[in-house]
Amino acid sequence: MSEQITRDIAALAELFKAGGWSELRVEGGGISLLFSNDPDSTSNGGSALAAPAAPEKGARPPQAPAAAGQKVDPVPDRREKRASGGVIDPDWVAVTAPNLGTFYRSPKPGAAPFVEVGQRVEPSTEICLIEVMKLFTSVKAGLSGTVRHVAVDDGALVEGGQTLAYIEIN
> Which residue type, as a one-letter code, is found at position 73?
D
Does residue 10 carry a pLDDT above 90?
no
Q: How many CB atoms lie within 10 A of CB 99?
A: 17
3-state secondary structure 66-103: CECCECEECCCCCCCECCCCCECCCCCEEEECCCCEEE
Does residue 59 carry a pLDDT above 50?
no
Residue-wise pLDDT for 30-54, tens only, equals 677 777 777 766 544 443 333 334 3
- How is the chain split into domains, by residue range? 1-50, 72-168
Residue-wise pLDDT for 98-132, tens only, equals 999 999 999 999 999 999 999 999 999 999 999 99
Considering the segment(s) 72-168 as one domain, its CATH architecture is: Beta Barrel (2.40)
pTM of the model: 0.53
